[in-house]
Amino acid sequence: MLVQDLQTNKEILEERRKQLEAIHQTSAKIKDISDSMAKQLNEQGAILDDVEQNVETAKDNAVKAKEEITKADEMSRGNRKKMLCLILIIILAVGVISAILLSLML
């Protein structure tokens, strides 16, 4: 009977050892998954930081572009006014020269 009890205890201990080994393996897998998730979160955080920076840069560029377009529009309007004034001056000059020439011919 003592031998049988020892054998039973030995089987129980072996079963517990196997269970502990299974728990250890599961724990190691959980740790690996946790480490992998932490690494992915860090990488994604860096990517999100890059995206945020790119959005800020795009916003700044859009504001600058709007300012440049406004300046270009103002310059264009100014150039049109200058061109109109130049045309009027040329027309007046032609009119004055024509009047002088007509008065000299008469």
Q: Read off the tokens for 64.
A: 């600058």
**pLDDT value, residue 75:** 84
Per-residue pLDDT reduced to its tens digit, 20-73: 999 999 999 999 999 999 999 999 989 999 999 999 999 999 999 999 999 988
CA dihedral for 64, 65, 66, 72, sign (positive or negative):
positive
Report the alpha-carbon distance of residue 103 to residue 97 in Å, rounded: 10
pTM: 0.50
Report the alpha-carbon distance of residue 45 to residue 14 in Å, rounded: 46
Q: Tokens 């039973």, residue?
A: 8
Report the alpha-carbon distance of residue 76 to residue 38 in Å, rounded: 56
- Say how many C-beta atoms besides its own lie within 10 A of residue 2's C-beta: 6
